[in-house]
């Protein structure tokens, strides 16, 4: 069964509108040297296209390597005790997806390094990349949900807008913050590393996914608690980053706007 035009439009709107609203909400926090919308949009589109495409390819290859019956590696790895379908899901969402997706999203930060003169800019562009990724991921999930039914579609749209969308934004925002701090420290002659922030993003993503699927291994009674913890993790991280942007925006004296910002 395929979606009709009206259904496709509904999916695209429900999938992209929340990320766009969140993006404007974060970008407009800055008073000093607000980031150009054209560059913010470029970061968003990078997250929505390249990172998603590469994530799908890489994750598919990993699944084939780890779980395909024809894979010698899979035969060796699971020789003594094969994983049940439930634990395979947990492995994929808490190990494979966080490492692959957060690493790929982090590559977008390098593309906007010329705009990371202020530390808070790293958060803004990281959030933009993460929201772009979330928008495309939302399209895929919401299309499947609408094929099941309108009620499932609405519930999924609300749940993803308030949880996974914010998680993707927050995780990449943390990496952007870390990389911008690294550049500032390097400029000041201070030894620093940004890789630790990527590890934090991966752990955030892994924890979120674990609680989101905990009902699969712990029973239906754990579903609500797991989803609640995931929601609190995503929203708390997002609100923390918003507060950080406002705080950092007031730290330095606002210099003249660079030419490439105009």
The per-residue pLDDT for range 211-222, each reduced to its tens digit, is 999 988 877 778
> What was the pLDDT predicted at 77?
65
Residue 210 inside a domain? The answer is yes
Closest CA to 97 of 213, 188, 233: 213
Overall average pLDDT of the 2-19 stretch: 93
Residue 118 inside a domain? The answer is yes
Residue 231 inside a domain? The answer is yes
Contact criterion met (CB below 8 Å) for 175 and 198: yes
Residue 255 inside a domain? The answer is no
Structural domains counted in the chain? 1
Cα–Cα distance measured from residue 234 to residue 128, given in angstroms and rounded to the nearest whole number = 15
For residue 81, pLDDT beyond 70: no
> What was the pLDDT predicted at 66?
81
> What was the pLDDT predicted at 41?
97
Residue 254 inside a domain? The answer is no
The per-residue pLDDT for range 17-65, each reduced to its tens digit, is 999 999 999 999 988 888 999 999 999 999 999 999 999 999 999 988 8
The per-residue pLDDT for range 181-233, each reduced to its tens digit, is 999 888 776 777 889 999 999 999 999 999 999 988 877 778 888 999 999 99
The per-residue pLDDT for range 106-156, each reduced to its tens digit, is 999 999 999 998 999 999 999 999 999 999 999 999 999 999 999 999 999
> What was the pLDDT predicted at 183?
92
Cα–Cα distance measured from residue 215 to residue 193, given in angstroms and rounded to the nearest whole number = 37
Residue 261 inside a domain? The answer is no
Cα–Cα distance measured from residue 160 to residue 140, given in angstroms and rounded to the nearest whole number = 12
Structural domain range at position 71: 5-249
Positive or negative torsion for Cα 14, 19, 20, 21: positive
Closest CA to 206 of 91, 88, 73: 91
Residue 260 inside a domain? The answer is no
Residue 21 inside a domain? The answer is yes
How is residue 252 written in tokens? 């330095």
């Amino acid at each position: 069964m395929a979606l009709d035009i009206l259904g496709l439009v509904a999916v695209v709107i429900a999938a992209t509108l929340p990320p766009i609203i969140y993006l404007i909400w974060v970008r407009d926090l800055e008073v000093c040297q607000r980031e150009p919308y054209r560059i913010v949009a470029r970061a968003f589109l990078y997250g929505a296209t390249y990172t998603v495409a590469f994530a799908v390819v890489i994750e598919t290859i990993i699944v084939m390597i780890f779980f395909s019956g024809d894979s010698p590696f899979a035969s060796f790895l699971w020789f003594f005790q094969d994983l049940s379908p439930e634990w395979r899901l947990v492995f994929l969402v808490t190990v494979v997806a966080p490492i692959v997706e957060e690493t790929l999203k982090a590559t977008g930060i390098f593309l906007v390094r010329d705009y990371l003169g202020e530390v808070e800019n790293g958060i803004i562009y990281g959030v933009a990349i993460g929201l772009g990724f979330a928008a495309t991921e939302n399209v895929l999930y919401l299309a499947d949900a609408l094929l099941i039914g309108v009620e499932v579609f609405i519930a999924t749209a609300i749940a993803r807008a308030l949880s996974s969308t914010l998680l993707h934004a927050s995780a990449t925002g943390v990496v952007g913050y870390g990389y911008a701090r690294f550049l500032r420290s390097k400029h000041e002659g201070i030894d620093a590393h940004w890789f630790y922030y990527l590890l934090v993003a991966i752990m955030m993503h892994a924890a979120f996914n674990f609680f989101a699927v905990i009902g699969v291994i712990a029973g239906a009674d754990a579903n609500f608690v797991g989803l609640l913890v995931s929601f609190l993790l995503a929203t708390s991280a997002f609100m923390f980053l918003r507060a950080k942007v406002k705080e950092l925006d007031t730290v330095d004296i606002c210099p003249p706007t660079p030419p490439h910002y105009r």
